[in-house]
Structure 1
């Protein structure tokens, strides 16, 4: 059983890492602008909110490339296997945001929601696998001294 769990975590780390390396690289490849019909963007619709959200992330000149770099670095850390917990910790807010994006701005995309929930669960599992190590880093009994 222990060998199965080890193989599962290796496959999970490689899969999540390669997925985010790919997603990060895609952020640097320009997409041709698509024309959207006026019937698609009904005022108050989640589609309009989604377009505004992504447009806001891309509107400033730094955040979209920064997100791409974070995804690439964290993905490479996951793929390395040696720094996988660090990569999982870095990706935790990213996967949480992807999940919440699908829940609130794209609720009609059930398969995307399930997939983003899977990313989040795998990321949490990778992070909590090394709970004792993280606990010893984050929490100490000793008071802070200068």
Structure 2
């Protein structure tokens, strides 16, 4: 099967769109924690992992910058339109995290970061045609153009971003207004998911009907 068939397959497009959502969200909790100047772990500095994170935390602005970079990468992936830029930024950040988890022998974490590396690699392969003008020097290329995700997925990405950032806000959810806000964001996110899936289903049925 050619890349063009893979790229134009509706199911593959749906998988890639939601893989971007999933990978983008992965950076929100840790990114917000760093951006707000909080410690990422409570491990003792007597351990190599605890000492490493404490040293990173003590850098101050650099710790905040790491958090901001993670959030920006996640938001770019969520937008769908700028997903390639987000994937490249995500790869740069994640590669460092992946090597750290392997070097410091994180229990189980290296497996999660390895799966994330595979996911972001898949996203880059999906959009590799957009990178060809950069990778191929001084050669004329005929670039195949593929349609970007529809407006519904872009809008959904914006809604997911707002809701997931709110849900990822560090600290316990207290009683009262905060808990209702948390529940409201959860409901909005679930309704967004159901609405987009319903519209995608209707669009798919209409396409099949027109082709038959």
1:141 and 1:32 map into 2 onto residues whose CA distance is: 46
Q: Of the two, which has the highest radius of gyration?
A: 2
Q: Name the counterpart of 1:18.
A: 25
Q: Name the counterpart of 2:117.
A: 120
Aligned residue for 1:30, secondary structure, equals: coil
2:33 and 2:40 map into 1 onto residues whose CA distance is: 13
Gaps of 5+ in 2: 1-5, 140-212
- 1:21, 1:73 within 8 Å by CA — same for their partners in 2? no
- 2:33, 2:40 within 8 Å by CA — same for their partners in 1? no
Gaps of 5+ in 1: 42-47
- 2:40, 2:53 within 8 Å by CA — same for their partners in 1? no
- 1:89, 1:127 within 8 Å by CA — same for their partners in 2? yes
* Structure 1 segments of 4+ aligned residues over 2 angstroms from their partners: 29-36, 137-140
1:32 and 1:141 map into 2 onto residues whose CA distance is: 46
Q: Name the counterpart of 1:30.
A: 38
Q: Name the counterpart of 1:130.
A: 127
Change over 3 Å in CA distance of 1:128–1:90 after alignment to 2: same
What is the aligned-residue RMSD (CA, Å)? 2.4
- 2:97, 2:113 within 8 Å by CA — same for their partners in 1? yes
- 1:24, 1:68 within 8 Å by CA — same for their partners in 2? yes
Change over 3 Å in CA distance of 1:32–1:78 after alignment to 2: closer
Q: Name the counterpart of 1:45.
A: none
1:44-83 equivalences in 2 (<5 Å)? 48-83=47-82
- 2:42, 2:50 within 8 Å by CA — same for their partners in 1? no
Q: Greater shift after overlay, 69-78 or 51-60?
A: 51-60
CA drift at 1:76? 0.3
Query: Highest relative contact order (Cα 8 Å, sep 6+), 1 or 2?
Result: 1
- 1:95, 1:123 within 8 Å by CA — same for their partners in 2? no
Change over 3 Å in CA distance of 1:98–1:31 after alignment to 2: closer
